[in-house]
Amino acid sequence: MELFYINKKYFDALLSLELKPQQKSKLFSDLCRINILYMINKAGSGHVGSSFSSIDLMSWIFLEYVTKDSSNYFFSSKGHDAPAMYNVMISTGQLDASMLHKLRRVDGLPGHPDISTPNIVTNTGSLGMGISKAKGLIKANRLKNSACKVFVMTGDGELQEGQIWESLNRLRQEKMKELTIIVDHNKFQSDRKISTTSDLGSLETKFESFGLKTITCDGNNVDEFASSLNTLIASGEPSVLISNTVKGSGVKYMESESLSDKDFYQFHSGTVKQDIYEKSVKELVNNIKDFIQKESINYVFELTTEKFSNTSFKKEFRTQSLIKAYSKALIGEAKNNKKIVALDGDLILDTGLIEFEKLFPERFFECGIAEQDMVSQAGALALEGFTPIVHSFSSFLTSRPNEQIYNNATEKTKIIYTGSLAGLLPGGPGHSHQAVRDIASLSGIPNLEMIQPSNESETTLAVKYALNDTSNNVYVRLCSIPVEIPFEYSSNHKIEKGVGSVISEGEEIVILSYGPVLLTEIWLSKKILSKSGINPKIIAFPWLNQFSTEWVKDQLDNYKTIITVDDHYIEGGFGEKFIANYIKTSENYNGKKIFSLGVDEIPVSGTNQEVLKHHKLSSHEIAKTVLSLIER
């Protein structure tokens, strides 16, 4: 496998040339596109489409405003275009050149921008916050009597978040002439066109209604957007540049213009297949050479080739996908229950709802990136006798609409909340997407049961239980990554409230956890511990806030050491609740060693194994910790 990139010396050479700014920016952008592809394919994940649509404007703003005046700010509120911004920063010397090779690595660049990275203005990834942060920057500079310009980039999907529109209300009133809002208007969001998901209507009319100076331009045409920006800045008013762009701009095969309303965009996230990757690099190289020849520019560059050995390892255990199992189980239940309706927050691919929409289009409701709105819609559907199932990533579903979830609970109806991408993994996107506080966030919601299944069969049982066996609201917490799971349940396995399953017998030590990732790591740690003569009992406990006192006491009272392991912050997690419940209800806990393991700091971004190791939750780290605990 071969990857290609442009060495920084060629960027330095370009920036030293006496060229028209527009010529320089055009070449710079296309060179960055080659390196964006390199970064994402080397990392194994990232967002190509939005990086390509935004790179032209990013290049111009950095070259003309940020690098020439350190008092100016630029950041992207939408976050998915981080590879584009990182490349511009590397190529202008604002980030070390070695970072080109470290996207989504523990010692490199996080999947979404974080201020731990030099010259990053603010954390982004959670949508809707950018304009509010820009206002704060402007007010801070005014207090310090410092002049500045602030450029903040937003995206089509992000404009569906309510905070965006809250943030516009006082811009005119506070005369924030320092602010230029840039909309990367590529007409797509995660998977499909905004006209299908949440039609935005006339953006120009919307922004102008807030009293903002607004211009619409071609955001991939440097001559046009450069002129438009000059006009906006010269106006002395808070302003908006609506930049009509093409998702995947720069590579014909990746460009979104030919797609219909119902088509899925294939290059939103993830790596590019090798054959398409090589064709894309070739096209970009040819585009650059053609431009150099056309403009008679004295500039040469070459690609650096990096080879990877694509070694395949024999799988020890069967790989399981809980999202696929969830999708199949949901469809099975929906066929027999016409009251089931599904709501989605622009994550139809990631939450397993594609087949549901195909089979039950009248019972599928796309709500876009508007979690509070979606959850309140579900509340009204429940009041009218339906059984709504709300879907999004766990980090977004449990935090932003938390008040709406509580409001629904006070109406004593039944709603199921399905949160995918739960826990530490995948580690690449970074802390804005790693759901490690969702259990704590929902712990104060009355009449809400929380379940995290640990394999495909238990996922099916969890869906059946949530829909048929309880009158309470249910939060189904799902791991999204495929996992090689070393344990299986018996054919008569069932979900019983507050009861776990012993997946490996042992003596003296009992370890309790949930979900496929950590239970697999604990299972593997047992092999390591056996070399030291330690044989822990392992319990898979799918219930995150429900405990059968009788069952728990029966399983734990004869053990000297009790350890819980959380795919979540220790504080507010399962372990804290479980241990508190055990101590409260058992007379035999005195003299026992009781410990909670889990996340105790802001999660890092990196490969899955890097992240588990860093947080001491890999099999080897768990084994080390267990040894240290029992030796105390």
Q: What is the CATH number of domain 501-630?
A: 3.40.50.920
Please tell me the distance from the alpha carbon of residue 87 to that of residue 21, in angstroms, as a whole number.
19
Residues 52-88: pLDDT tens digits? 999 999 999 999 999 999 999 999 999 899 999 999 9
Residues 312-367: pLDDT tens digits? 555 788 999 999 999 999 999 999 999 999 999 999 989 999 999 999 999 999 99
Please report which residue ranges of 360-499 form alpha helices under DSSP H.
Answer: 371-383, 394-397, 402-410, 438-442, 456-468
Residues 6 or more apart whose CB falls under 8 angstroms from that of 174 comprise: 135
What pLDDT is stored for residue 313 in this prediction?
55
What pLDDT is stored for residue 311 in this prediction?
57
**Bridge-partner residues for 435, per DSSP?**
422
Residues 546-600: pLDDT tens digits? 999 999 999 998 999 999 999 999 999 999 999 999 888 888 788 889 999 999 9
Residues 281-309: pLDDT tens digits? 999 999 999 999 999 999 999 999 998 77
| CATH 3.40.50.970, applies to 319-484 | yes
Residues 12-45: pLDDT tens digits? 999 999 999 999 999 999 999 999 999 999 999 9
Please tell me the distance from the alpha carbon of residue 626 to that of residue 190, in angstroms, as a whole number.
42
Domain boundaries, the chain: 48-269, 319-484, 501-630
Tell me the residue type at 367. Answer: C
Mean pLDDT of 435-451: 97
What pLDDT is stored for residue 452 in this prediction?
98
Residues 455-508: pLDDT tens digits? 999 999 999 999 999 999 999 999 999 999 999 898 899 999 999 999 999 999
Average pLDDT score over the chain: 95
pLDDT of residue 225 exceeding 70, the answer is yes
CATH architecture of 48-269: 3-Layer(aba) Sandwich (3.40)
CA 311 to chain centre: 28
Length of the chain: 632
Contact 323, 354 (CB under 8 A): no
Element (H, E) at 4: strand 2-6
- In 486-630 the beta strands, taken as DSSP E runs, fall at 501-504, 509-513, 537-540, 561-569, 593-599
Contact 82, 52 (CB under 8 A): no
Residues 243-285: pLDDT tens digits? 999 999 999 988 888 887 778 888 888 889 999 999 999 999 9
What pLDDT is stored for residue 474 in this prediction?
98
How many helices and strands in the chain, by DSSP H and E? Answer: 22, 20
Of 132-141, 191-200, 515-524, the poorest mean pLDDT is in 191-200
φ/ψ of 583, rounded to 5, equals -60, -40
Matching fold, domains 48-269 and 319-484 = yes
